[in-house]
Amino acid sequence: MNFTYQALPMRVVFRLGAIAALPEEADLLGLRRLLVLSTPGHEGRAATVADLLGERTAGVHTYAVMHVPVEVARRAVEVARSASADGCVAVGGGSTIGLGKAIALELSLPIIAVPTTYAGSEMTPVWGVTEEGAKRTGRDHKVLPRSVVYDPELTLSLPVALSAASGMNAIAHAVEALYAPDASPIVSLMAEEGVRAFAAALPAIADAPRDPAVRAAALYGAWLCGAALGATTMSLHHKLCHVLGGALNLPHAETHAVLLPHVLAYNADAAPQAMTALRKALGADDPALALYALSGQLGTPTSLAELGVGEEDLERVVEQALSASYTNPREVTPEGLRALLQGALHGQPPVSI
């Protein structure tokens, strides 16, 4: 067994009502002037956080946008600067935490993340900014949140459809962590357990979306899958989602949900250890088919066509995906990629090509 494992320095507080711990988290980090971030439409939640933080609140900025457009990032940096903020509290999904990271990248301000979806950005040192239809990403430890407050209560309002897609997004992190070139035993344990948690929690959420216990089970999965994402290098699946998101402005979580079974089927024969772990986690002989069936059961989109992708878009995606170098357990060929995308476009059951 050969591996290198680098633990990421961060603190995690996980409990129902954990949001009440925010003042203590701020004090532990010595932060006195926090900028509270959220997406539009969640001003009420941002105000609650600002009230909780009291005199530690330097401002509230509720303009986070998916994929962090560069002008949105610049404006937020200006707001943080003019408020003399010494840190940010990002309360929301990956878009809000992404905006916090864009500020941290520029101003080196520590982030306290309060995730309200299952995207997992809170556990990673990965930032991303979109400019002229292309998303630039990078790794920098100064954007890794210093403290993560997981409060299942904040996820009760996440619509069932979005919960399901966001859960599939998280499962995708775990799947690619299991066959990553820098996989390690502890991360693989977390990834397998994360998939197991979601496989049980997502159907339970569809039945009882306001049950805090099932929401806690899903958020536990999000933590595990996010940690697996933060610790490893992602492969073809994340590359394709990245290309599709940047080139066609597709919804992030739904794109992950559609592509995951197809990429897994493509990689299956080249990733036997990952497949063994996924068989155990999903309790199924064919993990790709099981994930496709789970998507169908949850009602998340199963075809790229449902997301607005047309036949004419595929060649651009193939070109962009092949032009960058990235790791993958199986060689990515133009024919293989075309066949994979055709299957995903039409929502066919995943097959090993």
How many angstroms separate the CA atoms of 82 and 4, rounded?
Answer: 42
Whole-angstrom CA distances from 269 to 47, 272, 344, 349, 352 are 50, 6, 19, 17, 8
Closer to ligand NAD by CB, 175 or 268: give it.
175
Asked if 36 and 44 touch (Cβ cutoff 8 Å), the reply is no
CB of 239 to ligand NAD, least distance (A): 13
218 vs 264, beta carbon nearer ligand NAD = 218
Residue 153, C-beta contacts closer than 8 angstroms, at least 6 positions apart: 16, 17, 19, 212, 215
The DSSP letter of residue 350 is P
Q: How far is CA 77 from CA 270, 305, 343, in A?
A: 44, 37, 42
Which x/- pattern, by CB under 6 A, does the window 184-223 give for ligand NAD?
A: ----------------------------------------
- Other beta carbons less than 10 A from residue 206's beta carbon: 16
Give the amino acid at 204: A
Q: How far is the CB of 166 from ligand NAD (least distance, A)?
A: 5
Q: What is the DSSP-derived secondary structure letter of residue 69?
A: B
Of 90, 104, 111, 158, which one interacts with ligand NAD (CB under 6 A)?
A: 158
- Kindly report the number of other CB atoms within 10 A of residue 264's CB atom: 30
Q: Residue 345 interacts with ligand NAD (CB under 6 A)?
A: no
Q: Cα(9)–Cα(14) distance, rounded to whole angstroms?
A: 16
Letters for 28-47 (x = contact with ligand NAD by CB under 6 A, - = none) are: -----------x-xx-----
CB of 258 to ligand NAD, least distance (A): 14
Q: Residue 203: which H helix or E strand, with range?
A: helix 185-207
Per-residue x/- track, 285-324, ligand NAD (CB under 6 A): ----------------------------------------
Q: Of these, 87, 120, 145, 329, which contacts ligand NAD (CB under 6 A)? A: 120
Q: How far is CA 109 from the centre of its chain?
A: 22
Q: Which stretch binds ligand NAD (CB under 6 A): 28-36, 158-166, 262-270, 338-346?
A: 158-166
Residue from 92, 152, 194, 329 binding ligand NAD (CB under 6 A): 92
Rule CB under 6 A: say whether 239 interacts with ligand NAD.
Answer: no
Per-residue x/- mask for ligand NAD, residues 67 to 86, rule CB under 6 A? Answer: x-------------------
Contact flag: residue 253 with ligand NAD (CB under 6 A): yes
Among 21, 77, 90, 117, binds ligand NAD (CB under 6 A): 117
* Structure-token pair, residue 30: 């010595």
DSSP β-ladder status, 134-139 and 126-131? antiparallel
Residues lying near ligand NAD in the complex (CB under 6 A): 39, 41-42, 66-67, 92-96, 98, 116-117, 119-121, 124, 126, 128, 154-155, 157-158, 162, 166, 229, 252-253
